Amino acid sequence: MIDAEDYNRIANIPSASYGLATAANNINLKKDDEILLVESQFPSNYYIWEKLANKFKAKLNIVSMPKTTENRGKKWNEAILNSISNKTAVVTLGNIHWANGTLFDLKSIRKKTTENNALLIIDGSQSVGALPFL
């Protein structure tokens, strides 16, 4: 179902909030590191990162949804990619946006997070099993 080199890095858990909290509780940040989220993130993929940022005095970097619906996915993905920098420690989002269905370009985001030594944490609860997840 998920094309991964190490299947031990995939967790099947009872709820997204539990999995995200488990991931967050295993991350150490430095002051001023950034956690990148998208606007209007589902609450279970927001509050745990807010708590982690506060704990380490890190910053939440929330990438706004484009104001227009025309080419929203393309524009939002570009904004996400442009927001990932050497200060980014964590990028966390769903494969799709839970409220409007915007599909995020996980391959490009993965490439950019790897280039910047950032973690990519994906909440697949809205899409794994319904959409390809490679």
Domains and CATH numbers, the chain: 7-123 (3.40.640.10)
Cβ–Cβ under 8 Å, residues 81 and 112: yes
pTM: 0.86
Answer yes or no: are the C-beta atoms of 34 and 117 closer than 8 Å. Answer: no
88-94 and 34-38 beta bridge pairing: parallel
Q: How many CB atoms lie within 10 A of CB 61?
A: 19
Contacts of 82 (CB under 8 A, 6+ apart): none
What pLDDT was estimated at residue 1?
46
Residue 126: per-residue pLDDT: 66
The beta strand positions in 1-134, using DSSP E, are 34-38, 59-63, 88-94, 119-123
pLDDT greater than 50 at residue 124? yes
User: pLDDT by residue (tens digit) across 55-90?
Assistant: 999 999 999 999 988 999 999 999 999 999 999 999
Cβ–Cβ < 8 Å for 22, 13: yes
Share of the chain above pLDDT 70, in %: 88
Q: How many residues are given for the chain?
A: 134
Q: Does the structure show a pLDDT above 90 at 13?
A: no
pLDDT band at 130 (very low <50, low <70, confident <90, very high): low
- How far CA 134 is from CA of 50, 91, 120, 126, in Å, comes to 28, 17, 14, 15
For tokens 């973690």, name the residue: 119
Q: What is the mean pLDDT of residues 5-29?
A: 85
Whole-number percent of the chain with pLDDT over 90 = 61
